[in-house]
Structures are given as C-alpha cells and as structure tokens.
Amino acid sequence: MGHHPSAGPTPGNGAPPGAWDATEVTGTSISGVDVLCTPQGYRLLEVNKVPGGFFLLGEDAQRAAMTAMYELAVQTAEKTAGALVH
C-alpha cells in the first residue's frame, strides 16, 4: 500500500496504539481515526471510513457538532473522575 507523507501517521511513525488495527478492521486502507489522549492512555473514539467528510457539513454545523462532542467528553471525564475518587 502506498502512503503519501501528508496523509498522516503510518504504523510505527506516531500513530497511537491500536489506530492502525482499527483502520484494518473497517476494511479500508485509509481512514480517519479519532483518539483522545487521557491520563490512562489513548481512547479510541471512532473510525471514519470517509476521512474529511465532516467538512461537507459547513462551518456552523461543524462548530455545533464539535462543541457538543467536547461538552460530552468533559461531562464524561468529570463523571469518571468522580467515580474514581469515591
């Protein structure tokens, strides 16, 4: 499989652990893998079979979606942190 340098990480050059496996599981050779770096390590959020397709929505829809995902991530992190403390 060929790889253009601007296409992002390849196995062994900075891709988070499991990201390349996640791409293979979808049956694609190129995908966008969303990961979150946490104190416990990387967490796989999703694998996009059409990387960059999100940008078809337009700027306002992108901003609203990203804000909602961020707020959900913060709420989940706060609940998880609270559960670990108690």
Q: Say what the pLDDT of residue 84 is.
A: 57
Q: Say what the pLDDT of residue 4 is.
A: 45
Quick one: average pLDDT of 31-44? 83
Q: Supply the mean pLDDT for the chain.
A: 75
Distance (Å) of CA 26 to CA 3, 40, 56, 64, 76: 18, 25, 22, 27, 26
Task: For the chain, give every domain's residue range.
Answer: 1-51, 53-86
Q: Say what the pLDDT of residue 49 is.
A: 75
Compute the distance between CA of residue 78 and CA of residue 75 in angstroms, rounded to an integer.
5
pTM of the model: 0.45
Closest of 32, 26, 30, 27 to residue 53, by C-alpha: 32
